[in-house]
Amino acid sequence: MSRALAWLGGRLGFPRRAFHLRAASPADADSFARLHAEGFHIAWDGAEFERLLADPLSRAWLVTAGPGGPAAGFVLFKGVRPETEILSVAVARARRREGIGRLLLERSFALLAAEGFRTVFLEVEDGNAAALRLYEHLGFREIARRRGYYRTASGASATAIVMRRDIA
């Protein structure tokens, strides 16, 4: 549903699509791998996500289309209080531009802050305009650049933009 349709539907009294946010577990590894493969040309497999989701230093949340519905997006953090890093965030291709990424990040920041985390870091490819817009809108600021950090689908090198945001 486009933003315009969601807005119009809300103005006309139709309910917005219901999303359900829950903590993720190693059992969600295959859903994470599927979503990651839709958004990244070098995708992590289920075994890698299972390992990360089992790590006590990781925090992860999954958004589904209603309780028990199909996975619509996820975010995965890893860190030691008071700092953490976003390792990955992905939204199902068919569900992009519905506010799922913002929902994931805003709610996870509140949950992380309640656990004593104060600062979030991330790296994003400099050509990922949609992600950069979202992160800047959420208050992230560029603190460094890592030239040649990523490889694009064509094999060319790409710069990583390192960003930071205080959440508490």
CATH of the domain at 128: 3.40.630.30
12 in any annotated domain: no
Of the listed 123, 125, 142, 149, which one is catalytic? 123
Select which of 50, 98, 135, 150 is catalytic: 135
Residue 1 lies in a domain: no
The verdict on residue 9 lying in a domain is no
For residue 95, give the amino acid letter.
R
Binning pLDDT at 50, 70 and 90, where does residue 1 land? very low
Range of the domain at 146: 18-166
Q: What is the pLDDT of residues 128-147, one digit of tens each?
A: 999 999 999 999 999 999 99
Q: What total of structural domains would you count in the chain?
A: 1
Is 123 noted as a catalytic residue in this protein? yes
Model confidence, pTM: 0.87
- Position 153 in a domain: yes
DSSP designation for 15 = P
Within a domain: residue 73?
yes
According to the model, what pLDDT value does residue 3 have? 46
156 is a domain residue = yes
**Backbone region of residue 139 per phi and psi (left: phi > 0; alpha: psi in -120 to 50; beta: other values):** left
Neighbours of 143 (CB within 10 A): 10
Q: Residue 162 CB: number of other CB atoms within 10 A? A: 17
Could you read off the pLDDT of 35-89 as tens digits, one per residue?
999 989 889 999 999 999 999 999 999 999 888 889 999 999 999 999 999 999 9
Query: End-to-end CA distance of the chain, in Å?
Result: 33
